[in-house]
Amino acid sequence: MIRLVPHPVMLGFVNGLALVLLKAQLTHFQDAGKFLSLFAPEGLATYGCAILTMALVKFGIPLFQEKVDAARAVPPTLGGVVIASVVAKVFKWPLKTLADVAGAETFKGGLAVLPKLGLPTSVWAPLVSSPIDTLKV
């Protein structure tokens, strides 16, 4: 099926998708519509974390995977994000978290936030009121 789509169309789609992702991620490097300053602690931490993650994905994790066979089970992108997150947490870098962006209520956790499982009352009502009449054909 994919053979029916011309190669230039696929390239255009993938490039357009890359631009949309880039634009969506650039908003995290802004504060009040302006890009974070490299001299401010928040800007330095944000740019530093991004550069650290990219360096780990491109160089660090692949080099580690060459030396340790078991490390090949972890994709470099996942390893880079996890290591950069741990470094940022250990050194207490002033980064925006998901809780800062979406609100702490979003991640409060617990069983109360899970949806209730069950059938609608319209299914149960006839069975509860008169189970014998429901089963008659």
Answer whether residue 26 shows pLDDT above 60.
yes
Question: Over the chain, what is the mean pLDDT?
Answer: 85
- pLDDT band of 59, cuts 50, 70, 90: very high
d(CA 28, CA 46): 9
Q: What share of the chain is helix, strand, coil (3-state, %, to 5)?
A: 70, 5, 25
- pLDDT band of 91, cuts 50, 70, 90: very high
Output the pLDDT for position 20. 95
Answer whether residue 96 shows pLDDT above 90.
no
Q: Contact, 52 vs 87, CB < 8 A?
A: yes
Q: Contact, 31 vs 42, CB < 8 A?
A: yes
Output the pLDDT for position 123. 66
Output the pLDDT for position 17. 95
Output the pLDDT for position 86. 96
| Average pLDDT rounded to a whole number, residues 42-69 | 93
| Average pLDDT rounded to a whole number, residues 13-32 | 90
- pLDDT band of 28, cuts 50, 70, 90: confident
Output the pLDDT for position 29. 86
Rounded percentage of the chain residues whose pLDDT exceeds 70: 84
d(CA 126, CA 80): 56
